[in-house]
């Protein structure tokens, strides 16, 4: 694309690396960004840098956080006896949106997937066990995605925790099989949460 100005070409290239953005979308977005008032463009660039500089992972649950510990872990009104175990921070957002859960979270950082070379040791199970040893947790809700990797992860979790005498439940079916939690609507996710069963 030698006919494009080099900075524009560079921006299109950068955008092309984003999830779900192909070359055509990248071009459309790049021209849109070019049409923005300078202040808006600076604001957007600043927001990207700020996320890199200021957002990190909570030292307890590994959700995204501005401080050492996230707003959910530090909220005394939330029930510390129930922990909802999810794959990614995006899933926390989805479950929070359902409004049916008032406990705490643990973000594993993915799901067990032998094909992709992801075993339990790559996920934050050890950190979870350390949390459970403190003794106040009575139930873990396995809210991993309703696909093969998510199911395998939920089963592994149940086996891992059984010796500790902590109940492990699985969010109910009704979620689209093979799908991602983050795409489930609030009502479906709320129902799945209410209808959870012991593993
Ligand atoms: Zn946290």
pLDDT at 1: 54
Distance 96 CA to ligand 1 centre (A): 13
pLDDT at 124: 97
Distance 182 CA to ligand 1 centre (A): 19
Distance 85 CA to ligand 1 centre (A): 12
**What is the distance in angstroms between the CA of the first residue and the CA of the last residue of the chain?**
56
Distance 180 CA to ligand 1 centre (A): 22
Distance 114 CA to ligand 1 centre (A): 28
Q: Which two tokens stand for residue 60?
A: 């307890």
The residue-averaged pLDDT of 126-135 equals 93
**Most confident among 2-6, 109-113, 145-149 (mean pLDDT):** 109-113
Distance 37 CA to ligand 1 centre (A): 37
What values do phi and psi take at 188, rounded to 5? -60, -45
Distance 119 CA to ligand 1 centre (A): 23
The residue-averaged pLDDT of 5-21 equals 93
pTM for the full predicted model: 0.78
Q: Compute the distance between CA of residue 10 and CA of residue 170 in angstroms, rounded to an integer.
A: 46
Distance 93 CA to ligand 1 centre (A): 13
Q: Is the pLDDT of residue 182 over 80?
A: no
Q: Is the pLDDT of residue 184 over 60?
A: yes
Q: Which two tokens stand for residue 65?
A: 């956080």
The CA distances from residue 197 to 5, 64, 114, 149, 173, in Å, are 58, 28, 26, 19, 10
The residue-averaged pLDDT of 136-151 equals 93
Distance 112 CA to ligand 1 centre (A): 22
Which has more confidence, 26 or 175? Answer: 26
| CB count in 10 Å sphere of residue 166 | 17
Q: Compute the distance between CA of residue 163 and CA of residue 141 in angstroms, rounded to an integer.
A: 16
Distance 59 CA to ligand 1 centre (A): 7
Distance 169 CA to ligand 1 centre (A): 21
The residue-averaged pLDDT of 10-24 equals 93
Distance 57 CA to ligand 1 centre (A): 8
Q: Compute the distance between CA of residue 13 and CA of residue 33 in angstroms, rounded to an integer.
A: 14
Q: Spell out the residues 6+ positions from residue 181 whose beta carbon is closer than 8 angstroms to its own.
A: 86, 87, 90, 91, 94, 95, 143, 144, 145, 146, 175, 189
Q: Spell out the residues 6+ positions from residue 149 whose beta carbon is closer than 8 angstroms to its own.
A: 111, 112, 113
* Average pLDDT for the chain: 91
The per-residue pLDDT for range 57-107, each reduced to its tens digit, is: 999 999 999 999 999 999 999 999 999 999 999 999 999 998 889 999 999
The residue-averaged pLDDT of 171-194 equals 75
pLDDT at 192: 82
Query: Residue 173 — very low, low, confident or very high, per pLDDT cuts 50/70/90?
Result: low
């Amino acid at each position: 694309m030698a006919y494009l100005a080099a900075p524009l070409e560079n921006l299109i290239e950068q955008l092309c690396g984003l999830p779900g953005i192909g070359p055509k979308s990248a071009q459309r977005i790049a021209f849109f960004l070019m049409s923005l008032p300078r202040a808006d463009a600076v604001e957007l660039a600043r927001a990207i840098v700020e996320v890199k500089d200021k957002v990190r992972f909570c030292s307890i649950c590994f959700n995204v956080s501005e401080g050492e510990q996230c707003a959910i872990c530090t909220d005394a009104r939330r029930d510390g006896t129930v922990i909802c175990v999810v794959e990614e921070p995006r899933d926390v957002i989805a479950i929070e949106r359902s409004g049916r859960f008032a406990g705490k979270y643990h973000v594993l950082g993915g799901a067990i997937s032998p094909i992709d070379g992801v075993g339990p040791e790559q996920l934050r199970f050890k950190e979870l066990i350390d949390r459970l040893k403190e003794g106040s947790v009575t139930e873990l809700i396995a809210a991993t995605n309703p696909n093969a990797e998510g199911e395998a992860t939920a089963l592994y979790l149940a086996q891992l925790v059984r010796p500790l005498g902590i109940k492990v439940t699985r969010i109910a079916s009704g979620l689209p099989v093979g799908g991602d939690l983050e795409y489930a609507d609030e009502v479906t996710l709320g129902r799945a949460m209410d209808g959870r069963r012991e593993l």
